[in-house]
Amino acid sequence: MTAQSGLSDTEVAAVQGPAAPPKAIAVEIKAVSRVFGNGSSAVHALDRVSLHVEVGEFVCLIGASGCGKSTLLNLVAGLDRPTSGSVEVAGRTGLMFQESALFPWLTVAKNIELALKLSGTPKGERKDRVAELLRRVHLDGFGSKRPHELSGGMRQRVALARAFAQDADVLLMDEPFGALDAMTRDLLHDELERLWADRNFTVLFVTHNVREAARLADRVVLLSSRPGRVAHEFPSSIPRPRRIDDQPVSEMSSEITAKLREEVARHA
Which domains can be identified in the chain, with CATH numbers?
A: 25-92+168-268 (3.40.50.300), 99-166 (no CATH)
Average pLDDT, the chain: 89
Higher pLDDT, 17 or 53: 53
pTM of the model: 0.85
Higher pLDDT, 247 or 151: 247
3-state secondary structure of 247: helix
Mention every residue, 6+ apart, whose C-beta is less than 8 A from residue 81. 75
Q: DSSP assignment of 3-59, as one string?
A: TTT---HHHHHHHH-SPPPPPPEEEEEEEEEEEES-GGG-EEEEEEEEEEEETT-EE
6 band by pLDDT with thresholds 50, 70 and 90: low
pLDDT surpassing 90 at residue 129 = yes
Reference 1, options 11, 234, 180; nearest CA is 11
Mention every residue, 6+ apart, whose C-beta is less than 8 A from residue 49. 29, 31, 32, 33, 68, 72, 85, 223, 228, 229, 230
Higher pLDDT, 153 or 74: 74
C-alpha distance from residue 30 to each of 76, 83, 85 (Å): 11, 12, 6
Q: Which of 23-27, 52-56, 98-102, 162-166 has the highest mean pLDDT?
A: 52-56
Reference 136, options 184, 205, 202; nearest CA is 184
d(CA 41, CA 57): 38
What is the structure's pLDDT at 10? 59
Specify the pairing of strand 43-54 against strand 58-62: unpaired
- What's at 220, amino acid-wise? V
CA torsion angle 119 157 91 64 (round to 10) = 150
d(CA 12, CA 184): 51
pLDDT surpassing 70 at residue 12 = no
Q: Which of 30-34, 96-100, 167-171 has the highest mean pLDDT?
A: 30-34
Mean pLDDT across 125-144: 92
What is the structure's pLDDT at 64? 87
What is the structure's pLDDT at 21? 65
Q: Please give the DSSP secondary-structure letter assigned to residue 151.
A: -
Q: Percentage of the chain with pLDDT > 90? A: 61
Q: Please give the DSSP secondary-structure letter assigned to residue 206.
A: E
